[in-house]
Structure 1
Amino acid sequence: MLIVLGGLPATGKTTLARLLAGRTGAVHLRVDTIEQALVRSGLARHPVGPAGYVVGYALAEEHLRQGLSVVAESVNPLAVTRDAWRDAAVRAGVPYVEVEVVCSDPVEHRRRVDARSVDIPDLPLPGWEQIVEREYEPWHRERAVVDTAGRSVEESLGSLLCVLG
């Protein structure tokens, strides 16, 4: 199965993706990690553009074809990125679930943005203004929504697990 987690930075995607992958034994694909590896290689600079996503789609499909479940985690700001994850699952012949992770409380969301630290060396983290001004297309097809505002990590993971059945 492919589980796609998308949403703005600092909503809790990475935390939930890591916990979900650990709980289920799935592969965790994080586009931030891929993009920073491309930058370290000298082949790209930030912003990387579509390259990190394209690598992610290929890795997801490869893992899915091997019979592994994948938790793919990225902002997924555009419909085309969401479609590409879905297409990887379809080509691999596996089911997929799309989950938008949100933090509906702007005060809490901003606090998270201001308090977080870099966990990938040299990865530039966007500030609050960059996050609220970034292009982020509305979702136009069915997806699950996990709102992390006012919830503990365990409560948010519980909501995600309920969505996944």
Structure 2
Amino acid sequence: MQIQTKPTFFIFSGLPGSGKSTLAKRLAREFNAAYLRADTVEQGLRDLCGITVTGEGYRLSYRIAADNLALGNNVVADSFNPFDFVRREWEQVALDNGAEYINIEVLCSDQAEHRRRVSGRQSEIPGLELPDWDEILRREYHPWTSGRIAVDTAGETAEQSFGKLLAEISARMIPRR
């Protein structure tokens, strides 16, 4: 018989090109977690349903996360999360399903480096058109009003940023038996 533990919901936020998906995927592997990318869900809705997606991708993602958390699986959610109310909705999914949650904001404080990353990216999701630098600059992104782990990827390798993220997570996680 296994000891029952609460799953952990890792909720990633940040602008496109900041390094968010790179870190989220690595964390999913590290914690053997379900990986849930809002871009994949939203593009799936566009492709399969032929709709213009606004909040539907997030709403569907909440349900997929809830199913996995209810099963006791750790979950990594990878999404833009530009508004405080959206961040609170992700947290509520964790609370409703008996899970711990950790908010993680990924940013790149070096604007020139961030711009270079954006200009060199290719979409990993078939059919998804990535935003260009000007579109990213025009996006509305509200400052955080509650606690989170902030990871600034500027001037670091993915390995360095991931090491710092793991150290921060270790400091915040409830010890497990």
What's the TM-score once normalised by structure 1's chain length?
A: 0.97
1:107 to 112, 127, 131: 112
1:56 to 57, 61, 64: 61
In 2: Cα distance, 1:57 partner to 1:143 partner: 19
Percent identity (aligned): 44
Give 1:38-117 correspondences, 5 Å limit.
38-45=45-52, 48-117=53-122
TM superposition shift of 1:133 = 1.0
Larger Rg: 2
1:46-75: CA deviations, max 9, x gaps?
Answer: xx1100000111111110010000000100
- Say how many residue pairs are matched: 163
Question: Are 2:35 and 1:28 aligned?
Answer: yes
- Specify the code of the residue in structure 2 equivalent to 1:110: R
1:146 to 144, 147, 151: 151
Aligned equivalent of 1:11: 18
1:129-153: CA deviations, max 9, x gaps?
Answer: 1101111111101111001111001
Aligned equivalent of 2:131: 126
Name stretches of at least 5 consecutive residues in structure 1 with no aligned partner: none
1:109-141: CA deviations, max 9, x gaps?
Answer: 000000000110110110111101111111101
In 2: Cα distance, 1:27 partner to 1:164 partner: 17
TM superposition shift of 1:42 = 2.6
TM superposition shift of 1:44 = 1.5
Name stretches of at least 5 consecutive residues in structure 2 with no aligned partner: 1-7, 171-177
In 2: Cα distance, 1:52 partner to 1:74 partner: 10
- Specify the code of the residue in structure 2 equivalent to 1:95: E
Q: Secondary structure at the match of 2:28?
A: helix
What's the TM-score once normalised by structure 2's chain length?
A: 0.90
1:9-39: CA deviations, max 9, x gaps?
Answer: 0001111111111121001100000001001
Q: CA RMSD in A?
A: 0.8
TM superposition shift of 1:76 = 0.2
Q: Which runs of structure 1 show a deviation greater than 3 angstroms over 4 or more consecutive aligned residues? A: none
In 2: Cα distance, 1:139 partner to 1:152 partner: 25
